[in-house]
Amino acid sequence: MSKDERYDVSQHEGHTPGPWWLCCEDDTLYARWIQADEKSICSDLNEATEVDAQLLAATPEILDALKEAYDEIDKLRTVITTLDFEYGIAAKLLGEVEPASE
């Protein structure tokens, strides 16, 4: 993915909201699953490493952070475009910046 391409976060609309957490039946970490409130999200994590299982459990928070980052990028691009239009210096200082495509 190039720096100008975006991950399509809209494909995940309607996912089970977080927080999600990693569950297991005992301290051995066998029979692990991802839980959200009363709903089991993923039930076959026996082969997953601890790090992979924790990453899966963090998915809702990561998705929210990505959406917020895209919003901030769009705001900054608008400011840079406005400065360049008004003063003609932003593109020279920061390189050519195109507004986000809709």
Q: For residue 22, what pLDDT is reported?
A: 75
Residue 67 has pLDDT above 80, yes or no: yes
DSSP lists the bridge partners of residue 23 as: 33
pTM beyond cutoff 0.75 = no
Q: For residue 18, what pLDDT is reported?
A: 80
Q: For residue 90, what pLDDT is reported?
A: 63
Determine the Cα–Cα distance for residues 90 and 72; give it in Å rounded to an integer.
18
Residue scoring higher pLDDT (94 or 99):
94
H or E stretch covering 63? helix 59-87
Residue scoring higher pLDDT (10 or 99):
10
- Extents of the domains making up the chain: 18-57, 59-102
